């Protein structure tokens, strides 16, 4: 188990990605919106200072947006994912052991490094700024929870230079005493209220509790948090990601759909996307589910229905899954309703490598090797050429997607989006 763990966390990641190719927006208020441009999902520090909260609907802060000329961007996930991959790859230059926690956070094992931890933290921060262009904060501690706390301190107090090491017990105690318990990793509003009722106000108060007492009044998760705060690592490092047992692809529509044809076309897209994810983890699905529902907030009568189908033989062939999806939709669709959400769920997933565990249908035709080769070829083409090839059933209209008000170019993943330099 590492004696020194660093949590590298990108500062206002989505906003930083947008500013990377728009340096004119540095030190100006910038916000990134959700899929349908309805809510704010990322904020620059300038926007936070205006009191605008995370996930607030845009229409509720429209006056503030106009008053302070806040620059709004529609979500550009291909750009964010690519820059995230570059950051995680760059971190491998500092350690062979990296635990990616989210798109903008990763734990790094510094135990094998020869440099002093704080010096190494600054090297990581400066290198990512130079190599990728994204600002980060680095928190260092003997456990994951303490590294997370150190990262909070690095962002909270600018005088730290964006790097804080709390491996030292005296420094750790000081930070814990002045930090509220709700700032600790995994402690939400309700848990904070329960802790406060017991007189536990600061993180220091929490770490001073006995493990037995916490386990008795709360749960094993909080008990593990206390152990980590006390300097005992209990959270596994760089644990391999387990294949998903269920894959869901669904969306809420900005403009409601009414016809079965439009729903079928939309669910076809969701089905193919779910099938891609299934093949990416080398899985086969035995169960397909489809659901459709209207908005519960409409004044008209609501309708919600789901249906499932158990396959005789597990598959990852998009054509088979698509055929079943359309049949399931036909069995639950009702005219006269305005549908706001629909989705496809692939379940009962097994590994395609475990061929001995796959039960085949005695009376069904044997699996065609050409099917597997076709799906592999389809995925390879789409990965290379940005999903230019699909099945005819999908059509060319993306009915569930709203038109983004201001999406930036895909500067790093699309030739057409390359930045142009004027000489």
* Mean local confidence (pLDDT), 7-20: 96
In a domain, 111, yes or no: no
- What's the pTM? 0.75
Give the C-alpha separation, 319 to 279, whole Å: 13
In a domain, 140, yes or no: no
Residue range 398-416, pLDDT digits in tens:
655 555 668 888 888 777 8
In a domain, 80, yes or no: no
Number of domains in the chain: 1
Tokens in use for 327? 């049949």
CA 77 to chain CA centroid, Å, is 10
Residue range 94-115, pLDDT digits in tens:
998 899 999 999 999 988 777 7
Which has the closest alpha carbon to 187: 208, 169, 207, 170? Answer: 207
Give the C-alpha separation, 243 to 265, whole Å: 28
Residue range 54-91, pLDDT digits in tens:
989 998 999 999 999 999 999 998 899 999 999 999 99
Distances (CA, A) of 42 to 9, 19, 120: 14, 13, 29
**What SS3 state is found at 261?**
helix
* Mean local confidence (pLDDT), 202-211: 93
In a domain, 75, yes or no: no
What torsion do the CA atoms of 40, 42, 44, 48 make, to the nearest 10 degrees?
60
CATH number at 276 reads: 3.30.1490.100
In a domain, 263, yes or no: yes
Return phi, psi of residue 245, to 5°: -90, -10
In a domain, 160, yes or no: no
Residue range 280-339, pLDDT digits in tens:
888 999 999 999 999 887 777 889 999 999 998 899 998 899 999 999 999 999 999 999
In a domain, 285, yes or no: yes
Beta-bridge mates of residue 388? none
Domain membership of residue 268 as a residue range: 247-360+386-394
In a domain, 48, yes or no: no
């Amino acid at each position: 188990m590492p004696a020194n763990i660093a949590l590298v966390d990108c500062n206002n990641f989505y906003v930083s990605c947008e500013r990377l190719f728009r340096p004119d927006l540095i030190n100006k208020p910038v916000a990134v919106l959700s899929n349908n441009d309805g809510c704010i999902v990322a904020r620059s520090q300038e926007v936070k200072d205006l009191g605008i909260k995370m996930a607030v609907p845009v229409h509720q802060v429209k006056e503030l947006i106009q008053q302070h000329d806040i620059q709004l961007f529609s979500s550009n996930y291909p750009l964010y994912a690519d820059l995230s991959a570059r950051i995680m790859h760059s971190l491998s230059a500092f350690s062979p052991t990296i635990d990616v926690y989210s798109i903008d956070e990763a734990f790094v094992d510094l135990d094998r490094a020869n440099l002093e931890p704080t010096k190494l933290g600054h090297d990581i921060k400066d290198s990512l700024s130079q190599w990728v262009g994204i600002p980060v904060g680095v928190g260092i501690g003997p456990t994951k929870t303490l590294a997370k706390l150190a990262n909070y301190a690095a962002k909270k107090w600018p005088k730290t230079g964006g790097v804080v090491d709390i491996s030292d017990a005296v420094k750790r105690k000081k930070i814990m005493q002045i930090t509220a318990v709700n700032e600790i990793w995994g402690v939400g509003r309700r848990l904070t209220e329960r802790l406060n009722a017991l007189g536990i106000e600061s993180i220091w108060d929490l770490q001073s509790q006995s493990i037995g007492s916490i386990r008795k009044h709360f749960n094993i998760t909080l008990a593990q948090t206390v152990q980590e705060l006390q300097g005992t690592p209990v959270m596994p490092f760089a644990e391999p990601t387990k294949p998903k047992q269920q894959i869901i692809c669904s969306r809420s529509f900005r403009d409601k759909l009414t016809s079965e044809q439009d729903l079928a076309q939309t669910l076809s897209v969701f089905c193919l996307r779910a099938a891609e994810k299934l093949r990416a983890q080398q899985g086969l699905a035995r169960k397909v589910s489809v659901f459709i529902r209207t908005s519960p907030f409409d004044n008209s009568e609501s309708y919600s229905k789901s249906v499932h189908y158990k396959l005789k033989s597990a598959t990852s062939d998009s054509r088979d899954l698509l055929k079943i999806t359309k049949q399931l939709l036909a069995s639950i669709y009702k005219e006269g309703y305005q549908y706001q959400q629909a989705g496809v769920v692939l379940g009962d997933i097994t590994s395609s490598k475990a061929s001995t565990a796959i039960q085949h249908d005695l009376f069904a035709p044997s699996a065609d090797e050409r099917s597997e080769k076709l799906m592999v070829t389809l995925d390879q083409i789409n990965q290379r050429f940005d999903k230019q090839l699909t099945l005819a059933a999908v059509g060319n209209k993306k009915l569930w997607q709203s038109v983004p008000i201001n999406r930036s170019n895909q500067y790093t993943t699309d030739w057409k989006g390359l930045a142009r330099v004027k000489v």
